[in-house]
């Protein structure tokens, strides 16, 4: 029977079936950061365990690092303490740590692929829900909790139930001004924030096949926002070309052998799925969220919906979202005044994202009263962007150009919203309080749309600027 990538990778990594009915799955690559690992290391110490395969775990700091000045010790004593802890644990257990002076520090989901650690046909785990990002290269990548970080440290395995698969085919071609971010927001709008529970999403179809690796990373990144713990794209020439020459990718002849192996990992034609969803890529428009979960969104030229028109189960949630956001039903999302513009996060802080935003920002000025910042996803992204002068375009336009980190995506560092500020954000979550102010308001959109909003001072259709 024709198999999917999920079937093949799952089988190859199965150690045994557990009495609970779960599979004991070998994890190829474990990524850790400072927030969800310290307690796991402590559990390992208390249980007198070893790290079973220290060479398969890699660490960096991203959530709590300040993005303005990264001089140690950090001004924030708690951030400094977490960093010291991680450095100490890595030393103690022999784990490779990409420190601030390594040139490779960055958001864990940005550096995995760019280092070539993320490869097709492998299994990945990280104590972070956006681990789904790595599926873009054809890996099975699981976001896990701290107890499971302990499991992986101690055994290099996880106890998991095999998910169902939904293939999401995006047909046709995207139009100008529509980006990967709009595609994933459109998918979540269609299937809902809980539609993916129990599923892995296999993204396919001409739009996905035509995408660069960085665009695929954006799509897979937000699988979790659709409720799917993992998402993946079948590896192809785009994947192999992306990986060639990266520091941790196989080199020389080993690379050619690897490509042959990776090609065999693809979902075979005729494989069956538990569900198939088809979207027309050509009809996707720039998307903006209006609510407090990533499924509450409209096209940029649409009006904010009326809870009275909501499906009955969603009515209260829509009303709650409108009240929190101070939006009226029927109001146009375009023209919404913004206070902050944020280009960054594991969703949209790669070189191509910064290029798309710079295309909009070039020769223009950030509107008066808008605080705008660009936070590259990694030191490598920052270096590449600076080499082509993107930082100058942003700085001339009035954006702050920062150091790599999670920044304003989640309010664990100095970058935070204040009070009821409205933020046009290229990140992934518009949850209440997500950006560091309990009453702060987030509008999710593509990086180019954020740049356009920064310049207009309000939500605007980026296609008007690009024309």
Tell me which residues in 243-262 interact with another protein (CB under 8 A): 250, 254, 257-258, 261
Q: Residues 39, 45, 49, 54: is their CA dihedral positive or negative?
A: positive
Interface residue with another protein among 10, 30, 36, 348 (CB under 8 A) is: 36
Least distance from another protein to the Cβ atom of residue 277, Å: 19
Choosing from 171, 306, 314, 359, the residue that interacts with another protein (CB under 8 A) is: 314
Interface with another protein includes 154 (CB under 8 A)? Answer: yes
Is the Cβ of residue 39 or residue 175 nearer to another protein in the bound state? Answer: 39
Minimal distance, residue 118 CB to another protein, in Å = 11
Please report, as residue ranges, which positions from 448 to 467 form the binding site for another protein (by CB under 8 A): none
3 contacts another protein (rule: CB under 8 A): no
Q: Which residues pair with 337 in a beta bridge?
A: 458
293 binds another protein (CB under 8 A): yes
For tokens 């190829």, name the residue. Answer: 28
Site for another protein in 206-225 (CB under 8 A): 224
Q: Which residues contact 348 (CB under 8 A, 6 or more apart)?
A: 181, 218, 426, 427, 446, 447
- CB 49 → another protein: shortest distance, Å? 7
Contact 408, 380 (CB under 8 A): no
33, 166, 216, 229: which one binds another protein (CB under 8 A): 229
Q: Closer CB to another protein, residue 81 or residue 99?
A: 81
Report if residue 70 touches another protein, rule: CB under 8 A: no
Measured from the CB atom, is 145 or 389 closer to another protein?
145
Token pair recorded at residue 340: 């902050």
In angstroms, the CA 125 to CA 158 distance is 9
* Residues of this chain, 359-398, that bind another protein according to CB under 8 A: none
Strands (E), 172-221: 199-204
Find, among 400, 404, 452, the residue nearest to 426 by Cα.
452
What track of x and - describes contact with another protein for positions 72 through 101 (by CB under 8 A)?
A: ----x-xx-xx--x----------------
Residue 121 makes contact with another protein by CB under 8 A: yes
- By CB under 8 A, residue 319 contacts another protein: no
CA distances from 343 to 43, 123, 241, 363, 450 (A): 37, 29, 27, 18, 7
Is-contact 291 322, C-beta < 8 A? yes
How many Cβ atoms from other residues are within 10 Å of residue 246's Cβ?
A: 17
* CB of residue 395 to another protein, shortest distance in Å: 28
Question: Which residue, among 129, 125, 35, has the nearest Cα to 89 in the 3D structure?
Answer: 35
Q: Among 3, 12, 172, 420, which residue interacts with another protein (rule: CB under 8 A)?
A: 12
Cβ distance to another protein smaller for residue 128 or 202: 128
Told to check if 194 binds another protein by CB under 8 A, we report yes
**CB-CB contact of 44 with 154 (8 Å):** yes
- What is the nearest approach in angstroms of another protein to the Cβ of residue 73? 15
Least spacing, CB of residue 37 vs another protein, in Å: 9
| Residue 101: φ, ψ to 5° | -95, 10
Which pairing describes strands 23-26 and 14-17: parallel, antiparallel, or unpaired? antiparallel
Q: Which is nearer to another protein, 110 or 454 (CB)?
A: 110
- Whole-number Å distance between alpha carbons of 112 and 110: 6
Stretch that binds another protein, among 119-127, 239-247, 279-287, 375-383 (CB under 8 A): 119-127
Residues 6 or more apart whose CB falls under 8 angstroms from that of 42 comprise none
**Nearer residue to another protein within complex by CB, 134 or 429:** 429
**Tokens 């070189």 correspond to what residue?**
351
Residues 158-187 that bind another protein (CB under 8 A): 158-159, 161
Q: Is 70 left (phi over 0), alpha (psi -120 to 50) or beta?
A: alpha
Q: Least CB distance from residue 205 to another protein, whole Å? A: 25
Distance of closest approach, residue 5 Cβ to another protein, in angstroms? 15
Residue 411 makes contact with another protein by CB under 8 A = yes
């Amino acid at each position: 029977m024709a198999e999917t990538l999920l079937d093949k990778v799952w089988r190859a990594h199965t150690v045994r079936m557990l009495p609970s009915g779960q599979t004991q799955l070998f994890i190829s690559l474990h990524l850790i950061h400072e927030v969800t690992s310290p307690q796991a290391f402590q559990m390992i110490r208390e249980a007198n365990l070893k790290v079973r395969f220290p060479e398969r775990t890699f660490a960096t700091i991203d959530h709590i690092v300040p993005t303005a000045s990264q001089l140690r010790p950090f001004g924030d004593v708690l951030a400094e303490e977490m960093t010291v802890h991680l450095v100490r644990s890595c030393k103690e257990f022999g784990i490779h740590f990409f420190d601030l002076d390594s040139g490779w520090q960055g958001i864990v989901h940005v550096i995995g692929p760019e280092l070539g650690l993320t490869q097709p046909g492998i299994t990945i785990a990280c104590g972070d829900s956006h681990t789904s990002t790595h599926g873009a290269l054809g890996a099975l990548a699981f976001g896990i909790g701290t107890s499971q970080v302990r499991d992986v440290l101690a055994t290099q395995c996880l106890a998991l139930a095999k998910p169902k698969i939904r293939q999401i085919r995006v047909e046709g071609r995207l139009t100008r001004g529509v980006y990967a971010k709009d595609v994933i927001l459109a998918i979540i709008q269609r299937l809902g924030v809980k539609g993916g529970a129990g599923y892995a999403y296999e993204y396919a179809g001409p739009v996905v096949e035509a995408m660069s690796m960085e665009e695929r990373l954006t799509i897979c990144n937000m699988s979790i926002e659709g409720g799917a713990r993992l998402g993946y794209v079948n590896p192809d020439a785009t994947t192999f070309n992306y990986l060639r020459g990266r520091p941790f990718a196989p080199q020389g002849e080993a690379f050619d052998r690897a490509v042959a192996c990776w090609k065999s990992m693809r979902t075979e034609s005729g494989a069956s799925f538990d569900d198939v969803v088809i979207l027309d890529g050509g009809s996707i428009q720039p998307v903006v969220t209006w609510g407090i979960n990533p499924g509450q969104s409209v096209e940029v030229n649409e009006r904010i919906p009326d809870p009275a028109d909501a499906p009955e189960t969603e009515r209260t949630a829509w009303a709650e979202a409108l009240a929190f956001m101070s939006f009226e039903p029927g109001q146009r999302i375009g023209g919404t005044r913004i206070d902050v513009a944020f280009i960054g996060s594991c969703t949209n802080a790669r070189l191509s994202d910064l290029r798309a935003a710079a295309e909009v920002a070039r020769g223009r000025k950030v509107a008066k009263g808008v605080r705008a910042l660009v936070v590259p996803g990694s030191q490598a992204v920052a270096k590449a962007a600076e080499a082509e002068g993107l930082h100058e375009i942003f700085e001339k336009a009035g954006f702050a150009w920062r150091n790599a980190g999670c920044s304003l995506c989640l309010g664990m560092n100095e970058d935070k919203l204040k009070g009821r500020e409205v933020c046009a954000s290229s990140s992934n979550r518009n949850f209440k309080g997500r950006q560091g102010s309990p009453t702060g308001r987030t509008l999710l959109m593509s990086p180019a749309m954020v740049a356009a909003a920064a310049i207009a001072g309000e939500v605007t259709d980026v296609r008007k600027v690009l024309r």
